[in-house]
Amino acid sequence: MDQGKHFLFIPGPTNVPDRVLRSLSQPMVDHRGANFPEFSKPLLQDLKKLFKTEDGEVFIFPSSGTGAWEATLLNTLAPGDRVLCSRFGTFSHLWIDMCERLGLKTDALEVEWGEGVPLEQYRKVLERDEQHEIRAVLACHNETATGVTSNLAGVRKVLDDLNHPALLFVDGVSSIGSIDFRMDEWGVDCAVTGSQKGLMLPAGLGIVCASQKALEARKQAGLSRCYFDFEDMRATNADGWFPYTPALSLLYGLRESLDMLFEEGLDNVFARHHRLADGVRAAVRGWGLSLCAKGPEWESDTVSAIYVPEGHDAKAVIHNAYHTYNLALGAGLMQLAGKVFRIGHLGDLNDLMCLGAISGVEMAMRDAGIPIEPGSGVAAAQESYRKAAAAASK
């Protein structure tokens, strides 16, 4: 089906707004040319606003988010260092897997999928660590596989209560720029994101924001690094240069997407994501289905993982949506394969776009033989969006 717009409702890559698309197609310039710092320095400075940091420093690597995970570990830790982490979905799992492959020792807590960072268990492990052998604590802010958001302020509080000096590393790939994130307030030492989710760009940039404490830790970091070295970036970024050829087109796009986010206002961006997510959640209730997230405190404003009823195959829903209605949904990953489909509701979206997707999901489920009342999800979402609009206009 080539006519009309493709409905892209996976949790990344997300829709690239027309303004950003246009900004991507600009001629190349000399990235060592005299004028380049006039572009690059404000860009790096403005990125700090996205992370809500004054003291932190931002690094942009030509990689995906996974490269930014790796940069974080390589620049701060030594082989055999202990890392406290928790596994409750594919992305939290993959970062733990990377730690292990890089020769770090993980204290990996297994959490039921549908919940997030286990604060009380983190507290217990850190309490027992009287020698402060745990060098870093990992937190996946928004687990994209399950649609679960974790409480980062809570993680900070556990560390502070115990006076534990471990570094706090956050995977914010599917939250930063869509769900509130506060680097300085929450004492985050490295925050990781990528270009293709909340930043509404193609994939290709891995972004890390590092605190001064993380930059200090680099001096004892025994893991080897070269391409991903923070120090090479720092030495050149300070004057607006990069240690190697930057992904210029994506930097142009990033300039435009940051402008768009700041024009809307970050608080409004977060409120819009909450509203869109609320509509999707209303639809799920309207269908009589349930979310993978095990309670409102875990529900993500950027992605919802939705269980199909027992005896049905979520893959059929995804297949029908794609082939019949030109609607791309996210699949269930690992232990959720076939059990859930995911609706990504982040980035350049509005109420009616979400209603279109919800309508397509409804049809695709009926086509898969799932007994859904026609219109039940759409109607519930419509009322949710109407109510939000009425409240906003008061």
CA 330 from chain centre, in angstroms, equals 15
Amino acid identity for residue 1 in this structure? M
Q: How many CA atoms lie within 13 A of 297 on its CB side?
A: 8
Contact range with ligand PLP by CB under 6 A, out of 60-68, 80-88, 268-276, 282-290: 60-68
**Min separation Cβ 171 and ligand PLP, Å:** 5
Decide whether 299 or 351 has the Cβ nearer to ligand PLP.
299
**Min separation Cβ 328 and ligand PLP, Å:** 15
**Min separation Cβ 138 and ligand PLP, Å:** 11
3-state secondary structure of 183: coil
| Cβ atoms < 10 Å from Cβ of 243 | 15
| Cβ atoms < 10 Å from Cβ of 19 | 14
Residues near 18 by beta carbon (within 8 Å), at least 6 away in sequence: none
**Min separation Cβ 175 and ligand PLP, Å:** 8
Contact range with ligand PLP by CB under 6 A, out of 40-48, 168-176, 221-229, 316-324: 168-176
Among 9, 88, 91, 341, binds ligand PLP (CB under 6 A): 91
Largest Cα separation within the chain, whole Å, is: 64
3-state secondary structure of 135: strand
Tokens 């204290």 label which residue? 107
- Please give the structure tokens belonging to residue 225: 């690094």
171 in contact with ligand PLP (CB under 6 A): yes
144 in contact with ligand PLP (CB under 6 A): yes
174 in contact with ligand PLP (CB under 6 A): yes
Q: Residue 299 forms beta bridges with which residues?
A: 148
Among 74, 117, 167, 173, binds ligand PLP (CB under 6 A): 173
Contact range with ligand PLP by CB under 6 A, out of 166-174, 255-263, 273-281, 376-384: 166-174
Query: CB nearest ligand PLP: which residue?
Result: 65
- Please give the structure tokens belonging to residue 222: 């025994």
**Min separation Cβ 325 and ligand PLP, Å:** 24
3-state secondary structure of 30: coil
Decide whether 280 or 368 has the Cβ nearer to ligand PLP.
280
Q: Are 225 and 42 in contact (CB under 8 A)?
A: no
- Please give the structure tokens belonging to residue 262: 């700041």
**What gap in Å lies between CA 11 and CA 66, rounded to an integer?**
15
**Min separation Cβ 142 and ligand PLP, Å:** 6
Q: Are 229 and 207 in contact (CB under 8 A)?
A: no
- Please give the structure tokens belonging to residue 50: 């996205």
121 in contact with ligand PLP (CB under 6 A): no
Q: How many CA atoms lie within 13 A of 308 on its CB side?
A: 27
Among 203, 266, 271, 353, binds ligand PLP (CB under 6 A): 203
300 in contact with ligand PLP (CB under 6 A): no
Decide whether 194 or 253 has the Cβ nearer to ligand PLP.
194
236 in contact with ligand PLP (CB under 6 A): no
301 in contact with ligand PLP (CB under 6 A): no
Residues near 246 by beta carbon (within 8 Å), at least 6 away in sequence: 31, 40, 60, 62
# of chain residues touching ligand PLP (CB under 6 A) = 13
Note the residues at the interface with ligand PLP (CB under 6 A).
12, 64-66, 91, 140, 142, 144, 171, 173-174, 194, 203
